[in-house]
A and B are shown apart, each in its own frame.
Chain A
Amino acid sequence: MVVLAGVSVIVFALVHLVPGDPVRLALGTRFSQETYDALRERSGLDQPLVQQFVSWLGSALTGDLGVSFRSGDTVASLIGERLPATITLAFASILVALAIAVPLGTISALRPRSLVDRVATVFSQFGISVPEFWMSIVLILVFAGTLGWLPSGGYVPLTEDPAGWLQRLILPAVVTGVVSGSVITRFVRSSVLEALGADHVRTAQAKGLSSRQVFTGHVLRNALLPLVTVTGVQLAYLLSGVVVVEIVFSWPGLGQLALQSVQARDYPVLQGAILLFAVVFLVINLVVDLLYTAIDPRIRR
């Protein structure tokens, strides 16, 4: 709660430090002094900053994030429009990431120095180091250009065109999934290794449990905690809009909205978006903590 309050102050301060007069920008080049004053007054920009902050925070608490300077739509509706695309991509990416990372990380921990382990190392180094936008461009060149299998970008809602939805989702989800997956692979590998070396695992083996029983009952469960944490961090990152990937694939998500609102000096939209990201981040942290207690009874005390 303290963090959230602090975040809202920082958001507000940061956004109001942006140089440039948003009213001028919204009106274009030709306007009269009266229209200028009217819009300034209507947006509340003629009020002192502290008063602007109090009234913004007051309405934000009731879900009213204000009105966009540029389009005149409410910020809540603008964000609402972008949410489905962002949520779709975030969850698709996490699925891709986990589908790669969990098996790869586990097997490479169980068989250190094997071929799989080497593949996992190369994969995770690649994913961590590759610039996302470059990988996106190369994939577009290959799969949309040369092979012509997939469209190069855009978004259609699932309800309108399920096949088109999936086709457009694949490339961006693979790019972000590989990047997140490479991070998660490292965590899975090291946490499984750590769990394998623990005393209780040796005890379980000594008791004569089968290796499958030892693995599912003793190793996996202990390796799950770090996995939950890192997946939470990655999900928060993906939900806050992977700006660069959204731009390359013309994906109408929150990252794109935030970038546009910076360029257009659209304070209310930028404030709303950043506040939302901070809330998402804190909520995910909370969920991770709750999952902790569910997975590990020791933490409940």
Chain B
Amino acid sequence: MTAEVGAPVSLRPATPRWRETLGLLAHNPTAAVSALLLLALVLVAIFDETLAPQGPNEVDVAARLESPSGAHPFGTDDLGRDILSRVVLGTGVSLRVGFLAVGIALLIGTGIGLLAGFYGRWIDDALMRLMDMLFAFPAVLLAIAVLAVRGTGWGNTALAIGIVYIPVFARVTRASVLGVREEVYVRASRSVGASDWRLLTRHVLPNAAPPIIVQTSISLAFAVLAEAALSFLGLGTQPPDPSWGLMLAEGRGFIDLAWWLAFFPGMAIFLTVLCFNLLGDGLRDVLDPKQRTLMAGGGR
């Protein structure tokens, strides 16, 4: 790669500009609406106790299995607990597990991908073979195995899902780093004596970030889905915490009698996952139009 003599070569890396990105995103109605809905969801999770009409485990034996009505918009379950309140209070569990899981995967996976892509050679070989091994496990079973080792509960659920997604972030980051490693501004910085740390944090990472950001949104979708699935199997969040997956599992037994028990928590999972996916798509259109992110829709 040679820059033509006399051609203006910008030594300033093209760091993503946040305001610009947000502006472009606002022109993508689906992504913008998704982002707003997710923001609303986060607010619901923060103010859940104020918003929920009842406590999650407030039992009202007189009002068992009541169909949706004015008093209970989503109906009540077999113990007379208000489904709407439980769905509202389950939001926090889902989002907490989702963000923590993706945070773990992002931190470790991106770190590994950065090192592998930037240093290459044996470091690359060793780290990526390790990732291949982790990747060869079926996602759900790997998570189940981690939960079997560590025990259930929301923290371990997040850890289990996070471990599953480490190789995904490692691969996405590595591929992106390989693309920027030899850019003029990186080589220029190196030639003026910048340290590896400075190169990585100031030039490589910011410019390799777009696919990682897109992957983060998509992974959040899958993390929420995975938490629901694991809780549905009885391995994730444990009662009496009101997790959506758990509510679905409980509602499954009453499906002939009272469809609303399983319907509303399922809808909540579906819409949350859909919003993260649509936001991911929108972000890709804006930040990373050429790339097909590795796990787009995969990993299920």
Contact residues in B for A240 (Cβ distance below 8 Å): 138, 141
List A86-115 residues whose CB lies under 8 Å from chain B. none
CB distance from A202 to the nearest CB of B (A): 20
Interface readout for A127-155 with B: 1 if CB under 8 Å, 0 if not? 01111111001101100010000000000
Contact B256 A259 (CB under 8 A): no
Contact B148 A18 (CB under 8 A): yes
> Taking CB as reference atom, which chain A residue is nearest B234?
A263
Known: A124-B297, A237-B138. A137 touches B248 (CB 8 A): yes
Contact B136 A282 (CB under 8 A): yes
Contact A19 B136 (CB under 8 A): no
CB distance from A281 to the nearest CB of B (A): 5
Contact B137 A179 (CB under 8 A): no
B221 within 8 A of A: yes
Contact A243 B140 (CB under 8 A): yes
- Kindly specify which of A162-170, A270-278, A289-297 makes contact with the partner chain: A270-278
Contact B297 A134 (CB under 8 A): no
List B45-67 residues whose CB lies under 8 Å from chain A. none
List B265-284 residues whose CB lies under 8 Å from chain A. 266, 269-270, 273-274, 277-278
A52 within 8 A of B: no
Assembled-state Cα–Cα distance A183/B232 (Å): 23
Contact A17 B149 (CB under 8 A): yes
Contact B266 A134 (CB under 8 A): yes
Contact residues in B for A243 (Cβ distance below 8 Å): 140-141, 144, 229, 233
A15 within 8 A of B: yes
Contact B297 A6 (CB under 8 A): no
Known: A134-B270, A244-B232. A125 touches B255 (CB 8 A): no
Contact residues in B for A270 (Cβ distance below 8 Å): 145
- The contact of B266 among A6, A14, A131, A259, by CB within 8 Å, is A131
Assembled-state Cα–Cα distance A125/B277 (Å): 8
CB distance from A89 to the nearest CB of B (A): 14
Known: A3-B132, A129-B221, A134-B248. A233 touches B270 (CB 8 A): no
Contact residues in A for B145 (Cβ distance below 8 Å): 14-15, 18, 262, 270, 274
Assembled-state Cα–Cα distance A270/B141 (Å): 10
CB distance from A104 to the nearest CB of B (A): 14
Assembled-state Cα–Cα distance A2/B270 (Å): 39
Interface readout for A5-24 with B: 1 if CB under 8 Å, 0 if not? 01100100011011100000
Interface readout for A247-273 with B: 1 if CB under 8 Å, 0 if not? 110000001001100100100001001
> Taking CB as reference atom, which chain A residue is nearest B299?
A237
Contact A131 B141 (CB under 8 A): no
Assembled-state Cα–Cα distance A165/B277 (Å): 36
B96 within 8 A of A: no
Known: A134-B248, A274-B141. A125 touches B278 (CB 8 A): yes
CB distance from A247 to the nearest CB of B (A): 7
Contact residues in A for B225 (Cβ distance below 8 Å): 129, 131
Contact residues in B for A255 (Cβ distance below 8 Å): 140-141
Contact B256 A133 (CB under 8 A): no
Give 4 nearest A-B pairs by CB, closest first: A134-B266, A240-B138, A183-B297, A129-B274
Residues of A within 8 A of B (CB): 2-3, 6-7, 10, 14-15, 17-19, 124-126, 128-134, 137-138, 140-141, 145, 179-180, 182-183, 186, 190, 230, 233, 236-237, 240-241, 243-244, 247-248, 255, 258-259, 262, 265, 270, 273-274, 277-278, 281-282
A–B complex contacts, Cβ < 8 Å, 15 sampled: A14-B149, A15-B145, A124-B297, A128-B297, A128-B300, A129-B273, A131-B225, A131-B229, A131-B248, A131-B269, A230-B298, A233-B298, A277-B136, A277-B141, A282-B136
Residues of B within 8 A of A (CB): 129-130, 132-134, 136-141, 144-146, 148-149, 151, 221, 225, 228-229, 232-233, 245, 248, 251-252, 255-256, 259, 262-263, 266, 269-270, 273-274, 277-278, 292, 296-298, 300
